[in-house]
Structure 1
Amino acid sequence: MRLKPYFLTILFALVTLFMVVSMIRYPQAAFDSALRGLKIWWDVLFPSLLPFLVLSELMIGFGVVHFMGVLLEPFMRPFFNVPGTGGFVMAMGLSSGYPVGPKLATKLREQKLVTRAEGERLVCFSSTSDPLFIFGAVAVGFFHDATLGIFIASANYLGAIILGILIRFHDRKAPATTYKRDKDLSILLRAFRAMHRARVQDKRPLGKLMGDAVLSSFQTMFVIGGFVILFSVMMTFFTMGVFADVLTVPLALFLSFFQLPAELSQAFIIGFFEVTQSMKSIGEMTGWTDLQMKLTIASAFVAWGGISVHAQVASIIGSTDIRYKPYFFYKLLHAFLAGAITFVLWKPLNKLVFHEETIPTFLRTVPNGNLEYTIQAIPTLGFYTLIILCILFVCSALFITMKKFSPFFRG
Structure 2
Amino acid sequence: MFSRSKYLFRGPVTTLMLGLLSFLLVIGIVSSPEQTFQTSLQGLSLWWHIVFPSLLPFLVLSEMLIAYGWVHGIGVLLEPLMRRVFGLPGVSGWALTMGMTIGFPGGAQSTLQMVQQGDLTSREAERMTWLSHFCNPMTIIIVIGIGLLDQPSSGYWLLGIHWLSGILAFLTSIPFSRLIRNKQAGTQELTRQLNISKLPLFRKVWSAINKAHVRDGRSFGKLLGESVSHSVQTLMVIGGYIIMMAVLIHLVSYYIIPGVPTYYLAGVFELHLGAKAITSASALTPIIQWSLLSAMLGWSGLCAILQSISPLIKSGVRWFPFIMMRLLHGSYAFVLTLFLWKPMKLLGLEAQPAFFYWPNYATDLSPISGMWSRILLMLGWQGIILIILLLLSWSIVLTSSRRSP
On whether the aligned pair clears a TM of 0.5, the verdict is yes
Structure 2 match to 1:88: 94
Structure 2 match to 1:337: 332
**Equivalent residue in structure 2 for 1:399, among 388, 391, 396:** 396
Matched, 1:294 2:289: yes
Alpha-carbon offset, residue 368 of structure 1: 3.0
Cα 1:397–1:221 change in 2 (3 A) is same
Structure 2 match to 1:130: 136
- Output the TM-score relative to the length of structure 2: 0.89
Contact 1:62 1:195 in 2 (8 A): yes
Where 1:365 maps in the other structure, the secondary structure is helix
Alpha-carbon offset, residue 277 of structure 1: 1.6
Partners of 2:225 and 2:70 lie apart in 1 by 18
Partners of 1:351 and 1:155 lie apart in 2 by 17
* Uncovered stretches (5+) of structure 2, i.e. residues with no partner: none
Where 2:358 maps in the other structure, the secondary structure is helix
What is the root-mean-square deviation in Å for CA atoms of aligned residues?
2.5
Partners of 2:74 and 2:312 lie apart in 1 by 23
Alpha-carbon offset, residue 168 of structure 1: 4.3
Structure 2 match to 1:388: 385
- Output the TM-score relative to the length of structure 1: 0.88
Partners of 2:194 and 2:289 lie apart in 1 by 53
Where 2:178 maps in the other structure, the secondary structure is coil
Matched, 1:76 2:76: no
Alpha-carbon offset, residue 162 of structure 1: 1.3
Partners of 1:59 and 1:299 lie apart in 2 by 32
Matched, 1:358 2:354: yes
Alpha-carbon offset, residue 150 of structure 1: 2.5
Partners of 2:147 and 2:339 lie apart in 1 by 24
Contact 2:162 2:294 in 1 (8 A): yes
**Equivalent residue in structure 2 for 1:320, among 308, 315, 322:** 315
Q: Which amino acid aligns with 1:145?
A: Q
Contact 1:79 1:168 in 2 (8 A): no
Q: Which stretch shows the higher mean deviation, 149-158 or 70-79?
A: 149-158
Cα 1:3–1:95 change in 2 (3 A) is closer
Alpha-carbon offset, residue 149 of structure 1: 1.5
Contact 1:95 1:385 in 2 (8 A): yes
Structure 1 match to 2:69: 63
Q: Which amino acid aligns with 1:110?
A: Q
Alpha-carbon offset, residue 202 of structure 1: 1.3
Alpha-carbon offset, residue 359 of structure 1: 4.8
Where 1:372 maps in the other structure, the secondary structure is coil
Partners of 2:170 and 2:112 lie apart in 1 by 17
Structure 1 match to 2:302: 307
Structure 2 match to 1:258: none
Structure 1 match to 2:228: 214
Structure 2 match to 1:8: 14
Contact 1:74 1:400 in 2 (8 A): yes
Cα 1:364–1:339 change in 2 (3 A) is farther
Alpha-carbon offset, residue 10 of structure 1: 3.8
Structure 2 match to 1:198: 212
Contact 1:121 1:170 in 2 (8 A): no
Partners of 1:163 and 1:189 lie apart in 2 by 36
Cα 1:371–1:268 change in 2 (3 A) is closer
Q: Deviations over 1:52-107 (max 9, x none)?
A: 00000000000001101111001110101111111111111011011100111111
Contact 1:146 1:364 in 2 (8 A): no
Partners of 1:197 and 1:82 lie apart in 2 by 20
Q: Which stretch shows the higher mean deviation, 157-166 or 183-192?
A: 183-192
Q: Which amino acid aligns with 1:384?
A: W
Q: Which amino acid aligns with 1:322?
A: V
Q: Deviations over 1:152-184 (max 9, x none)?
A: 212111112212322444893999799895974
Alpha-carbon offset, residue 114 of structure 1: 1.3
Matched, 1:141 2:137: no
Structure 2 match to 1:374: 371
Q: Which stretch shows the higher mean deviation, 102-111 or 316-325?
A: 316-325
Cα 1:171–1:89 change in 2 (3 A) is farther
Structure 1 match to 2:257: 244
**Equivalent residue in structure 1 for 2:275, among 265, 272, 279:** 279
Partners of 1:85 and 1:68 lie apart in 2 by 7
Contact 1:81 1:168 in 2 (8 A): no
Q: State the identity %.
A: 28
**Equivalent residue in structure 1 for 2:243, among 205, 209, 229:** 229
Number of positions where the alignment pairs a residue of Structure 1 with one of Structure 2:
389
Partners of 1:390 and 1:284 lie apart in 2 by 38
After TM superposition, list the pairs within 5 Å mapping 1:135-174 onto structure 2: 135-169=141-175, 172=178
Partners of 2:118 and 2:70 lie apart in 1 by 16
Alpha-carbon offset, residue 38 of structure 1: 0.8
